[in-house]
Structure 1
Amino acid sequence: MNLGPLEIGLIVLAILLLFGYKKLPDASRSLGRSLRIFKGEMKGMKDDDVRTKDAAQTAPVRGEIAGPAGDDPSTQLHEEARAAEARAAELRARAEQTRAADGSR
């Protein structure tokens, strides 16, 4: 599909008539924020997928011992809790950065 200058001009004129020239900057700003949030969420989902695959590859199979034979379950639970706390802190920091970026505009 080939758009010439006349078609593009008609499209721009129709948009101006529909939304008005005063609302276009706000609409474009809102669209930019939405795209930025969407892009960040997609990146987060990709990171989560990579972490899930890594965890699945290193997770013990049912009946398999995860560490050395002398490890007790409480040590493993403490390590998992530390990892979960680190992940929660990372997510809180990311959320604060997003709020700060949105608040500064």
Structure 2
Amino acid sequence: MFGLSEIAIILIVVIAVLCAKKLPELTRSAGKSARILKAEARAMKDEDDGERAAPRVIPGETVTPRPDEPKA
């Protein structure tokens, strides 16, 4: 009768007809999301490459416990 591809095409057409008013907004939103995801992935890659080149040093002070303090 109907195969999987025919049912998928029919569903796509039905969704396009019923959601014609919202479709441009949905595609715009999907495009923005894809751009944000791509930018974040690129930023993470750049961050990882930077950490391998030179370790990040966080300034601070070292606190050593006194010998008479009980350990927690």
- Residue 20 of structure 2 aligns to a residue whose secondary structure is coil
When the two structures are superposed, what TM-score results if normalisation uses the length of structure 1? 0.44
Partners in 2 of 1:45 and 1:3 — Cα distance?
Answer: 39
Show structure 2 runs of 5+ residues with no match: 58-72
Runs of 4+ in 1 over 4 A off after TM superposition: none
Larger RCO (CA within 8 A; separation ≥ 6) = 2
1:55 Cα deviation from its structure 2 partner: 1.0
Richer in helix (by share):
1
How many aligned residue pairs are there?
Answer: 54
1:8 Cα deviation from its structure 2 partner: 2.8
**Counterpart for residue 16 of structure 2:** 16
Computed over aligned residues only, the root mean square deviation of the Cα atoms, in angstroms, reads 2.2
1:3 Cα deviation from its structure 2 partner: 4.3
Show structure 1 runs of 5+ residues with no match: 60-105
